[in-house]
C-alpha cells in the first residue's frame, strides 16, 4: 500500500521535529532554508521526545528541498512557518497544489487557516476548487541542541480539526509515534493555545530558561495578567478557550499567582518542562529576528481595542517586545520583579 506523502513547508524546529517522527510511517519532504536543509542532507536528523524516546532518520529516506514547488504531489502540506511568513509561503506553494491538496496549519495564532485560504484565492479563485485548509495545533516547545537534532521540551498532544480527509494523516502520525487528538471545533483549542503562548513574550523578556522563569512568581504574575485580559476578550467574543490542563482556563491565573511551592506542586503532574526549554520568542530575540508578538499579546490588544475590552498589560508587553526586537542580544533582560513593575501588575 502506498505510504502517505507529507510535505512540511517551513522546516524549522517544529517542522523538523514532526518530520523526523513522521518519516517512520510516511514519505516526508522537508522544505526549508538552505543552511538547515544542507545540514540534514549531510547528517540526517535526530528527534527526541519528552520521555527520552529518540529516532535518527537517514537523509536518503527524506526528500529535501528549499523551494516551495516541492509540495507537488503531496497528500498533506503541513505549514509550520512563522505566521509572518504565511502569505509568502502559500504564494510559492499554491501553483503546485490542486483541489485535492490538504493544508494543515501547525502555526501559532488563532486565524491562520483563514489567512491561508485568503492566500490561496489568487491561484484558486473558486472556493469549490480550492485546497482544503485545516487548523492544527502543536502545544509543545521544541529546541535544537545541535544543528540536526530536535528535542521536545514541554508536554502536550498534537490536535487537528476533525475531517474525513484527515484520517490517513492521523494514521501515519500515530503509527510513527505522534499522538493526535481530533477536534470538532478548533477555535476553542486555538484560544487555549493562545493562553499558553502568552508566556512566549514573558520568557523572551526575562531571558531565563523556561523552567527557571516559571519558578519566578513575579514573572508568573505578568503572565496571569495577560491571561486574564485574554479571557475577558474571549468572553466578549463568545468564545470559551479549551482546557490545556486539568484546570479550567479561568482558574489558571489564580494558580500562576500562587506561591511557587504551591504552583510547583499543583502543576508537577500536568506540566513537564525540560531544563533546555526556552520560548521561540527568546530565540528570535537573541537572533535579531522579528517575533510573533503580533499573534500573541498583539492579537489580544487589537481585539480588545476593537471590542472595548481594556488590555493594558498585553499592550505594555507588546511595547517591551518591540523595543527588544530593535536591540537583539543587547536587549534588556527583565527580572520578574522589574517586569511586573514595568507592566503594572
Residue 244 is predicted with a pLDDT of 78
CA distance 169 to 167: 5
Dihedral of CA 154/157/158/159: which sign?
Answer: negative
Name the CA dihedral angle for 258, 264, 268, 271, rounded to a multiple of 10 degrees.
Answer: 70
Cell representation of residue 96? 503546485
Last residue of a domain, one of 184, 212, 244: 184
Pair (91, 116) in one structural domain: yes
Handedness of CA 151, 154, 155, 160 (dihedral sign): negative
Residues 23-62 as b or e (16 or more Cβ within 10 Å = b): bebbbbbbbbeeebbebbeeebbbbbbbeeeeeebebeeb
pTM of model > 0.85: yes
Full domain range(s) for residue 109: 4-184
Q: Are residues 162 and 295 in the same domain?
A: no
Number of domains in the chain: 2
Question: Is a pLDDT exceeding 80 seen at residue 335?
Answer: yes
Fill in the DSSP letter of residue 208: -
Q: Which three cell numbers stand for residue 27?
A: 514519505
User: Distance from first CA to last CA of the chain, Å, rounded?
Assistant: 58
| pLDDT on residue 279 | 84
Task: Determine the Cα angle at 201 with ends 270 and 82, to 5°.
Answer: 95
pLDDT tens readout for residues 220-274:
999 999 999 999 999 999 999 998 777 899 999 999 999 999 988 877 656 666 6
Closest CA to 272 of 153, 179, 178: 153
Choose the weakest-confidence range: 37-41, 64-68, 159-163, 285-289: 285-289
Residue 280: predicted pLDDT: 86
pLDDT at 287: 86
Compute CA distances 114 → 79, 120, 168, 186, 271, whole Å.
Answer: 13, 10, 23, 12, 31
Considering the domain architecture, whether residues 20 and 169 belong to the same structural domain is answered as yes
147: CATH: 3.40.50.720
Residues 248 and 308 in one domain: yes
Q: Which of 174-183, 198-207, 283-292 has the lowest mean pLDDT?
A: 283-292
Q: Are residues 180 and 196 in the same domain?
A: no
Domain shared by 275 and 207, yes or no? yes
Same domain, 245 and 338: yes
Pair 117, 205 in one domain: no
Residues 89 and 81 sit within 8 Å (Cβ to Cβ): yes
On the question of pLDDT at 323 being above 70, the answer is yes
* Cα distance between residue 44 and residue 30, in whole Å: 12
Domain edge (last residue) among 134, 163, 184: 184
Residue 200 and residue 161 share a domain: no
Give 3-state DSSP helix, strand, coil % of the chain, rounded to 5: 50, 15, 30
Task: Name the domain boundary from 156, 184, 212.
Answer: 184
179 and 241, same domain (yes or no): no
How do residues 66-123 score in pLDDT, each as one tens digit? Answer: 999 999 999 999 999 999 999 999 999 999 999 999 999 999 999 999 999 999 999 9
Q: CATH number of the domain that 279 lies in?
A: 1.10.1040.10
Together in a domain, 145 and 28: yes
At 93 the three-state DSSP class reads helix
Residue range 165-187: average pLDDT? 95
C-alpha distances in angstroms, 138 versus 49, 77, 228, 280?
13, 15, 23, 13
Residues 270 and 327 in one domain: yes
- What gap in Å lies between CA 261 and CA 259, rounded to an integer? 6
CB 153 within 8 A of CB 283: no
Amino acid at each position: 500500500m502506498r505510504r502517505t506523502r507529507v510535505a512540511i513547508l517551513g522546516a524549522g524546529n517544529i517542522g523538523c521535529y514532526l518530520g523526523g517522527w513522521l518519516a517512520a510511517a510516511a514519505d516526508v519532504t522537508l522544505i526549508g532554508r538552505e543552511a538547515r536543509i544542507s545540514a540534514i542532507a549531510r547528517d540526517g536528523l535526530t528527534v527526541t521526545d519528552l520521555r527520552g524516546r529518540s529516532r535518527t532518520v537517514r537523509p536518503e529516506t527524506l526528500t529535501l528541498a528549499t523551494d516551495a514547488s516541492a509540495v507537488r504531489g503531496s497528500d498533506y502540506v503541513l505549514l509550520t512557518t512563522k505566521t509572518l511568513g504565511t502569505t509568502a509561503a502559500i504564494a510559492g506553494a499554491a501553483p503546485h497544489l490542486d483541489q485535492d491538496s490538504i493544508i494543515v496549519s501547525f502555526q501559532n495564532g488563532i486565524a491562520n487557516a483563514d489567512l491561508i485560504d485568503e492566500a490561496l484565492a489568487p491561484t484558486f479563485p473558486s472556493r469549490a476548487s480550492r485546497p482544503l485548509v485545516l487548523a492544527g495545533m502543536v502545544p509543545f516547545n521544541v529546541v535544537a541542541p545541535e544543528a540536526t537534532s530536535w528535542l521536545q521540551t514541554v508536554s502536550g498532544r498534537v490536535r487537528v480539526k476533525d475531517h474525513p480527509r484527515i484520517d490517513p494523516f492521523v494514521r501515519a502520525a500515530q503509527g510513527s509515534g505522534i499522538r493526535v487528538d481530533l477536534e470538532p471545533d478548533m477555535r476553542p483549542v486555538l484560544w487555549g493555545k493562545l493562553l499558553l503562548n502568552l508566556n512566549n513574550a514573558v520568557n523572551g523578556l526575562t531571558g531565563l530558561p523556561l523552567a527557571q522563569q516559571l519558578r519566578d512568581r513575579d514573572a508568573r504574575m505578568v503572565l496571569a495578567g495577560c491571561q486574564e485580559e485574554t479571557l475577558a476578550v474571549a468572553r466578549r467574543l463568545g468564545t470559551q478557550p479549551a482546557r490545556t490542563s486539568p484546570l479550567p482556563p479561568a482558574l489558571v491565573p489564580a494558580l500562576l499567582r500562587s506561591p511557587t511551592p504551591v504552583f510547583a506542586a499543583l502543576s508537577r503532574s500536568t506540566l513537564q518542562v525540560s531544563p533546555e526549554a526556552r520560548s521561540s520568542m527568546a530565540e528570535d530575540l537573541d537572533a535579531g529576528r522579528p517575533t510573533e508578538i503580533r499573534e500573541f499579546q498583539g492579537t489580544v490588544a487589537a481585539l480588545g481595542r476593537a471590542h472595548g475590552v481594556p488590555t493594558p498589560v498585553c499592550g505594555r508587553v507588546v511595547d517591551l517586545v518591540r523595543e527588544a526586537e530593535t536591540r537583539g542580544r543587547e536587549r534588556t533582560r527583565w527580572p520578574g520583579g522589574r517586569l511586573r513593575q514595568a507592566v503594572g501588575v
